[in-house]
């Protein structure tokens, strides 16, 4: 599926819903989280609608890989790499997924505990 007009993040990709963009290219869009959990909290999403990590197939390997390599580039652009940052994908409701368009969280600017809550 390319874009899903019922999906919040597809509507951010299309520009229908505004977001504070941190980065975009042909593969991914990154924007600041509306409810940040750290001084820097950016979401990285593929332009193409994929509901969750569990929906990925081998055919999505390039898209999924782009999310990861572009996230690292975005984090460097935000100068997070020297202190470190958290990179998270929540899969499913019990793990805290609330928006069903796959997204990776980049969280930085503070220390993080382990194990996560």
Residues that are catalytic:
103
Give the integer Cα–Cα distance in Å for 109 and 64: 25
Report d(CA 58, CA 46) in Å as an integer.
Answer: 15
When asked if residue 19 is in the footprint of ligand 5GP (CB under 6 A), the reply is: yes
**What is the x/- site pattern for ligand 5GP, positions 90-109, by CB under 6 A?**
x-----xxxx----------
Q: Which residues bind Zn ion (CB under 5 A)?
A: 4, 7, 9-10, 49, 101
Minimum gap (Å) between residue 35 Cβ and ligand 5GP = 4
Q: Give the DSSP H/E element, type plus range, for residue 72.
A: helix 61-77
Q: Which residue's structure tokens are 């999310």?
A: 67
Among 31, 42, 71, 86, binds ligand 5GP (CB under 6 A): 31
Structure tokens at 7: 């999906």
């Amino acid at each position: 599926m390319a874009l899903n007009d019922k999906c919040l993040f597809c509507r951010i990709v299309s520009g229908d819903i505004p977001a504070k963009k941190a980065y975009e290219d042909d593969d991914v869009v990154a924007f600041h989280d509306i409810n940040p959990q750290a001084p820097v909290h950016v979401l990285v999403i593929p332009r193409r609608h994929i509901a969750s990590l569990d929906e990925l197939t081998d055919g999505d390997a390039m898209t999924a890989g782009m999310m990861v390599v572009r996230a690292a580039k975005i984090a460097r652009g935000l100068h997070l790499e020297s202190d470190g940052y958290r990179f998270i994908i929540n899969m499913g409701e019990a793990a805290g997924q609330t928006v069903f368009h796959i997204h990776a969280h980049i969280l930085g600017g503070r220390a993080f505990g382990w194990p996560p809550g």
